Amino acid sequence: MIRTIYHIIENVLIFLILFFTLALGGAKLIGHISPFMVLSGSMEPQLATGSLCFVNERDREAKAGDIIAFSKGSTKIVHRVLKAEHGVYTTKGDNNPHADRAPVSQKEVLGKVVFSIPKAGYAAAFLQTKKGMLLTSAALAAFFVMGRLLPERKKRGGGYEAG
């Protein structure tokens, strides 16, 4: 029973490691879905600071009410579209009092936000630090070693008995 629980946790951890490794590397998760970390509170409460949001890069045409990711120079921003006219968007952070000053052109749009995971951006940011990588690696190594030390099931009369 303990080994079964261990293997379930092990599989979940492996999935999370792969997921965050891909997300941290900016990899496209399903061919065209890219992760973005939310760094400010401009979209709260819909997208809280520290969320990891995922953007469909194939979906770049937006209408009023859509949340889009766009770039202004080297800055990436996630805001809601207030108005869309002829490939030019007026955007605003939900938590901001006024619309953004500069309109967003179609070529600046990176895609539409499909979903987000609250607080996952904090984990991603921590894992990008040297301390985060070392602590996470040490904890995972200890967990996997501990799993190898769990007692094996013993064979008994044609069946198995939990050890």
Active-site residue numbers? Answer: 40
Phi, psi torsion values for 59, nearest 5 degrees: -105, 90
> If residue 35 lies in a helix (H) or strand (E), which one and from where to where?
strand 33-37
Rounded Cα gap, residues 114 and 57, in angstroms: 10
Helix (H, G, I), strand (E, B) or coil at 57: coil
The greatest distance separating any two alpha carbons of the chain, rounded to the nearest whole angstrom, comes to: 77
Q: How many CB atoms lie within 10 A of CB 24?
A: 16
